[in-house]
Structure 1
Amino acid sequence: MAVEESAAPRNNEVKKSTASKAGKTAKKPAARKTTTTAKRAAASRAAAPARSIAGDAPAPSIAINEPYEFGRVNVMDITPNAEQGVYPARVELGEPFEVTAQVFIEGRTKVGATAVVRNPRGKETLRVPMTCVNAGLDRWVATLMCGEHSDAKPWEKEYAAVKRQLGEWTVVIEGWEDAYVSWLHDARIKVQVGDDVENALAAGAALLERWAASADAKLAARDRKTLTQAAAVIADVSLAPEQRLAAADNADIAELHATNPLRDGVSPSRPQRFKVERPKSSFAAWYQFFPRSEGAYWDAETGKIVQGTLKTSLTGLERAAAQGFDIVYLPPIFPIGVTNRKGRNNALVAGPDDPGSPFGIGSELGGHDTVDPLLGDMDDFKALTARAHELGLEIALDFALQCSPDHPWVKQHPEWFKHKADGTIAFAENPPKKYQDIYPIDFNADMPGIEKEVERILNLWIEAGVTIFRIDNPHTKPVRFWQDVIASVTKKHPEVLFLAEAFTRPGMMRALSYVGFTQSHCYFPWRNTKEELEEYLLTTNGDAGYYQHNTFWPTTPDILTAYVRDNGIAGHAVRAVLAAMGSPSWGIYNGYELIENRQRPGFEEQIDNEKYEVKIRDWSRADDFGIGALLGSLNRIRREHAEAFGYHNVRLLETSDPNILAFARHTPAALTSTGKPETLVVVVNLDGHNAHQAMVHFEMPEFEVDPQWGAHMRDELTGRDFAWSWDNFVSLAPWADVAHIFHVVHN
């Protein structure tokens, strides 16, 4: 139903008035009007106000009864907009985001626009005046927020208040005729040239009186007094025209126009839907480690590696918490198959002591619903999640929907797998690549049955303390499958999140986000030049961010790029800064702190890959490189300036050197808890070997900085203070500072 302003008649009043007139005047049956014509005529007659003696009649608010009808002011092309009106844009609770719309009226009359935010219960929580950013295209913009930022975890008592705010919010764009600005524009000209001055000023006095009496303007008593006093001065013919006009053309009246305008012909858009999701749905810091490597050691007697367990993995939790991460992500912890088990570095034949890949899931010991006995049992896993929660960490579990030839499903449900012409089950392959240790699932024979089993398994791990699932290769399964599974799981456990590990085409990525994948792996590791990064920052933090929440990972067990390989400690620092500051959600694969950057020849992955063997690490060496301390600093900056982070508030800054990248994150003062703007400026030297200098342009008014005083910039990495103006010199060297992360200090 359209939202109607008080100036407009209610639908039942329109019908009553029209019916009453028809009853008095009807002498004989008249030709019946079409429904649309009748509604339009009734609304026009009922909404039309009496013509004022001084000036034109104010624009009426015309009731909108059908989705295709326009109001008195035209509102179109609102962004973001759900595809086919089905899939709403997604934002995290308290995340700043931007809406735009075309708002216009006929002729040269001026218009204004207001964005109104309502929670799932229909209560208005925010009303923001929009700004015209392109008059030629009638484009208006506003930065909004649904609810307040929170760090409450699903298991904490504070989460109950968070939960009540989640769901579908709406934003309505209200276009309106700006009678004050239209009048002022003409009055200034007429007073200046002495043309029809009395009529112009009389109209202005009447307009201010009407403004003072407007309920929609929500004026305080002192504001109404300001307007009526100004109207009296304008109407005083004993004063000079310039003096009379000045009573309505000054800073006080301009401020009232900005905050409490006279809005004629208010025309609301249809409500735009936004799905508001829980904390950490998009603003999160991930840390990945393999439990079997945590606490692993060499047995001097046997000369063999003793792998870690879920109990020894508590050290990994402690390390993640100390570095300020929010989420610990574990690879599959299920039994590993024996048939065709892979050896070190993906060798086709495993040695007698090779543990195999945890992605070759399932053995005679169990499948996806079983803890690998070499790691422990379900009680050990529950103890791990309980300790994680004590440390403020969420546990994310990898769920790879594939099976080893030894998985129980192979015997229990052979119809769930693809078969060759000779009747044997086909292992996975992407010619010429072959994955002999994995059987892919065939969804065509019994997708409902597979869905039911997967839902059972996910719920089992949720009950054990998992709040997030990282799904391996979801793009190789039907989108409808994930849509059904995620809907079923989140209906019972709405706090559960899903991350898509999908490196694939844009259409598939968007579809996965539509059906419930809250975050996504992405192509950040391969964006390394200034031009590539600038383009990708805007892609990630633009309109696409309303659906696909890219998570920036410098490396993963599957990815080790040439940049990380070739740029040493400085390169690791650069990529960490870009990941932590470039996206609200980022992640680190452990070993990054130890500069593990040797590639397997011919592949963009690490040699001696942890997916195929147990790694013994000397964590006492982490302090030698400083990367662990940097990770902690980056997460501290993110926490202390959380209000600067969102998928829609990145702006690129112009720099004079092709190796110096600069960008800013900015949230306006009106949307922060302190009432001050929250701005971070990131400047990075992308060259891991050479120093570079550049001039960085800082458009101060765009960041609510008064050019008269300049900007007080505090480097959050070093604590040093700088004074910035329009153009600013920076110098960064890989052996000293690879980056500045400036906080704009507002006293």
Structure 2
Amino acid sequence: MHTSHRTRRPKKDAVQGPSAGFVADSPALSLAIHAPGQFGRVAIIDITPQAEDGVFPMRVELGETFDVSAQIFTEGRSTIGADAVLRTPHGRITQRLPMHCVNPGLDRWSVQLQAGEHSDAKPWQSDWPSIKRQLGNWSLTIEGWRDVYASWLHDARIKVAARDDIENTLQTGATILRRWAQSTDSGLHARNRRVLERAAETVADSGQDENARLAAADTPVIEQLHTTHPLREAVSTVSRPVHVQRPKSSFAAWYQFFPRSEGAHLDPETGEIVQGTLRSAVSGLERAAKEGFDVVYIPPIFPIGTTNRKGRDNALTAGAHDPGSPFGIGSELGGHDTVDPLLGTMDDFKTFCRRAHELGLEIALDFALQCSPDHPWVKEHPNWFLHKPDGSIAFAENPPKKYQDIYPIDFNEDMAGIERETERIMGLWIDAGVTIFRVDNPHTKPVRFWQDVIAAVTRKHPETLFLAEAFTRPGMMRALSYAGFTQSHCYFPWRNSKRDLSDYLPLTNGDAAFYQHNTFWPTTPDILTDYIRDNGVAGHAIRAVLAAMGSPSWGIYSGYELIENRQRAGYEEQAGNEKYEVKVRDWSKAEGSGIAELLTSLNAIRRRHPATTSYHNLSVLRTDDPNIIAFCRHTPAEFTATGKPDTLVVVVNLDGHNAHQSMVHLELGDYGLPTDQAIPMHDELTGRSFQWGWDNFVSLAPWCDVAHILSVEY
């Protein structure tokens, strides 16, 4: 590994004889760069990934592997080399790796890097300060350089074989070898310098056979030095920031439940539902931890308004005992800074968070920036709301949908004041134990608003993460990620066919993921697709496997284990929507479907395999059945804690009713696998073993196995 980044120009060798005084074979000239956009001697352009002309840095989680590429070239036919250097915010070099030319015709060079080491440290744990110090803007520097030794050796082999200008050629080689031995940039040990100096003496000795002279410069030892400690001349550099974020910023397993449904039961005397509280909701925390999840997400826990309160399944009129939607925020009891008394107190919430932390869980709180007509803001800040010509406040709507129980915020009058209040409220909940905010419909607010708020909050609390619930246009979703949203809901629930998934998986796990981290949720309180409705237990298993293996970040909505898949007529959402009522569930029935056990297995597989942690290592494999999809995740040995490569092959039958068979093609060489022998594969779901090669027969039946998750056994 190189430790110096400055090239010291060696002393020039003068040719004796008729041309004495003329300097021959001088080092390749370096060109100083004085302004952005100036080229060095080696041109470096088209660096990927890069967004908006480099305004927004690429984002990765600490320890995540990622690919970087660029077009790198110089004039003429000179051989070049390239390195990528990764530095922490404090300037310490953590990696210096050679780049490789992957497309000589287009001068495209690439390398895979890793920003530090993966960690599962939580913000409240004792080792958090050491993690915190590693976060922020790292520096990625691409260095292109003239490889004068390789250029010379290529030509010298040809000229000596053709007996063409041999003496000048070999004297040039001796000069280059001496320059290499004297180079400080190469980081050579003294014994290696002597190797090069002795080789230079032999190459320069005109009394020896020319083949022997050339052979002295073309040995395995020198070839190895050229690989590890090359002579780099005319080094040219281009730097880009890489924003390294904390653990769980992209690799996370989410579990959502409504605290008021946890511990809810029927009153034996009245037959009415008695809702749960923050104290009884600890059962949800324990279930999430048992199933291996990292983050518990809860909807708003603030007081719910009574004016225009919605009834069951979004009915305009609420019954006497309907609890209302937690998204109709605010009453005479308080607003976004108050715990609904029906759930408990702020002390109860702090206790809830402490218990979550004891179980290794982070708490994500829903932040919906909207109000019921009863919210204190309506009287205190009437200019924060849009008024109709008749003086009344306009309720929220998205025609034909209407939300009579919600007033949207209007940002035209006092956006700065709304920002300050939002920052205050978020700080209050962070102090109580919240580390993540799931933001409801952020795309209906100005992007700049979120950019300001997230910058202010993370300046004080850099550990805070943000999930965008933004089902909207691609440009808006990308802009929200630029603004600071760490993860995002996405259109995965509706990507169910092989064709759709074959397109969507590489999109989610491609260069776009340096900015937008898609989180795969099979269902949410607002989403229950026809596929989930129609495919029963097998459909739930299929979508869970695709979500857990298809994205580093995935989530499950409570009740998934119970196969809650009855749709509200005419809508792709659940009948008896939990947003409008308290659910009484019999969790003893969860064992019957096997889904809870599957979720637990999937999270365990994810923890065991580093290949599941990156948004940048997935490739779709070729299959010949329209209902069988297969994809591979691969992390090379140098980026795993074990020193062994990690390769997972996921094969899924998308048909929840019928068995299907297919050949699956695995391009062995692409994953560093032997091409001349059988590859032992271990099914992480069942424990069975298989032998794989280039083309492999797979048969999956929904009543038996909906999927294989195969790990290569080295």
Identify the TM-score tier after normalising by the shorter chain: over 0.9
Give SS of 1:421's match: coil
Give the letter aligned to residue 56 of structure 2: Y
Distance 1:411 1:744, change over 3 A: same
Give the letter aligned to residue 352 of structure 1: A
Distance 1:245 1:661, change over 3 A: farther
Aligned to 1:682: 650
Report the CA distance between 1:243 and its aligned residue.
5.4
Give the letter aligned to residue 574 of structure 1: I
Aligned to 1:386: 354
Residues 583-732 of structure 1 aligned to structure 2 (within 5 Å): 583-642=551-610, 644-732=612-700
Report the CA distance between 1:186 and its aligned residue.
2.0
Aligned to 2:169: 200
Distance 1:740 1:60, change over 3 A: same
2:72 paired with 1:103: yes
Distance 1:8 1:230, change over 3 A: closer
CA distance in 2, matches of 1:51, 1:692: 75
2:543 paired with 1:575: yes
Give the letter aligned to residue 6 of structure 1: R
Give SS of 1:68's match: coil
The farther-off stretch of 138-147 and 238-247 is 238-247
2:701 paired with 1:733: yes
Contact 1:8 1:62 in 2 (8 A): no
The farther-off stretch of 737-746 and 338-347 is 737-746
Report the CA distance between 1:84 and its aligned residue.
3.8
- TM-score, L = length of structure 2: 0.95
Contact 1:4 1:268 in 2 (8 A): no
Which of 124, 139, 142 in structure 2 is aligned with 1:170?
Answer: 139
Distance 1:667 1:222, change over 3 A: farther
CA distance in 2, matches of 1:492, 1:559: 35
Aligned to 1:139: 108
2:392 paired with 1:424: yes
Report the CA distance between 1:51 and its aligned residue.
6.2
Give the letter aligned to residue 478 of structure 2: R
Contact 2:7 2:183 in 1 (8 A): no
CA distance in 2, matches of 1:204, 1:622: 75
Which of 500, 517, 521 in structure 2 is aligned with 1:532?
Answer: 500
Aligned to 2:442: 474
Give the letter aligned to residue 169 of structure 2: A
Report the CA distance between 1:225 and its aligned residue.
4.6
Contact 1:51 1:57 in 2 (8 A): no
Give the letter aligned to residue 501 of structure 1: E
Aligned to 1:291: 259
Give SS of 1:386's match: helix
Contact 1:217 1:261 in 2 (8 A): yes
CA distance in 2, matches of 1:651, 1:52: 55
Distance 1:290 1:111, change over 3 A: same
Report the CA distance between 1:378 and its aligned residue.
0.8
- C-alpha distance after superposition, 1:26-64 (max 9, x if no partner): xxxxxxxxxxxxxxxxxxxxx995666797333122222
Contact 2:611 2:617 in 1 (8 A): no
Aligned to 1:65: 34
CA RMSD of aligned residues (A): 2.1
Report the CA distance between 1:202 and its aligned residue.
4.0
Aligned to 1:15: none
Which of 183, 186, 190 in structure 1 is aligned with 2:155?
Answer: 186
CA distance in 2, matches of 1:72, 1:357: 64
Report the CA distance between 1:445 and its aligned residue.
1.2
Give the letter aligned to residue 321 of structure 1: A
CA distance in 2, matches of 1:183, 1:706: 34
Aligned to 1:7: 7
Contact 2:44 2:72 in 1 (8 A): yes
Distance 1:318 1:253, change over 3 A: same
Give the letter aligned to residue 604 of structure 1: E
- TM-score, L = length of structure 1: 0.91
Report the CA distance between 1:126 and its aligned residue.
0.8
CA distance in 2, matches of 1:4, 1:66: 23
- C-alpha distance after superposition, 1:366-406 (max 9, x if no partner): 11111111111111111100000000000000011111111
Distance 1:423 1:638, change over 3 A: same
Distance 1:249 1:736, change over 3 A: farther
Distance 1:50 1:127, change over 3 A: same
CA distance in 2, matches of 1:207, 1:705: 38
Residues 266-345 of structure 1 aligned to structure 2 (within 5 Å): 266-269=235-238, 271-345=239-313
The farther-off stretch of 454-463 and 78-87 is 78-87
Report the CA distance between 1:188 and its aligned residue.
3.0
Give the letter aligned to residue 543 of structure 2: R
Give SS of 2:59's match: strand
Contact 1:114 1:173 in 2 (8 A): yes
Give the letter aligned to residue 152 of structure 2: W
The farther-off stretch of 183-192 and 454-463 is 183-192
Report the CA distance between 1:303 and its aligned residue.
1.0
Q: Percent identity?
A: 69
Report the CA distance between 1:247 and its aligned residue.
4.6
CA distance in 1, matches of 2:294, 2:278: 19
CA distance in 2, matches of 1:64, 1:593: 60
Give SS of 1:615's match: coil
Aligned to 1:744: 712
Report the CA distance between 1:175 and its aligned residue.
0.3
Report the CA distance between 1:337 and its aligned residue.
1.0
CA distance in 1, matches of 2:161, 2:396: 81
Which of 318, 322, 333 in structure 2 is aligned with 1:365?
Answer: 333
- C-alpha distance after superposition, 1:346-369 (max 9, x if no partner): 111111111111111111111111
Distance 1:55 1:547, change over 3 A: same
Distance 1:235 1:696, change over 3 A: farther
- C-alpha distance after superposition, 1:323-351 (max 9, x if no partner): 11000000011111111111111111111
Contact 1:102 1:139 in 2 (8 A): yes
Contact 2:532 2:540 in 1 (8 A): yes
Report the CA distance between 1:569 and its aligned residue.
1.3
Aligned to 2:82: 113
The farther-off stretch of 510-519 and 187-196 is 187-196
Give SS of 2:350's match: helix
Aligned to 1:550: 518
Distance 1:194 1:727, change over 3 A: farther
Task: Return 5+ residue gaps in structure 1 as ranges.
Answer: 10-46
Give SS of 1:696's match: strand
Distance 1:240 1:570, change over 3 A: farther
Aligned to 2:118: 149
Distance 1:168 1:446, change over 3 A: same
Which of 454, 461, 468 in structure 1 is aligned with 2:429?
Answer: 461
Contact 1:7 1:60 in 2 (8 A): no
Give SS of 2:599's match: helix
Report the CA distance between 1:674 and its aligned residue.
2.6
Aligned to 2:186: 217
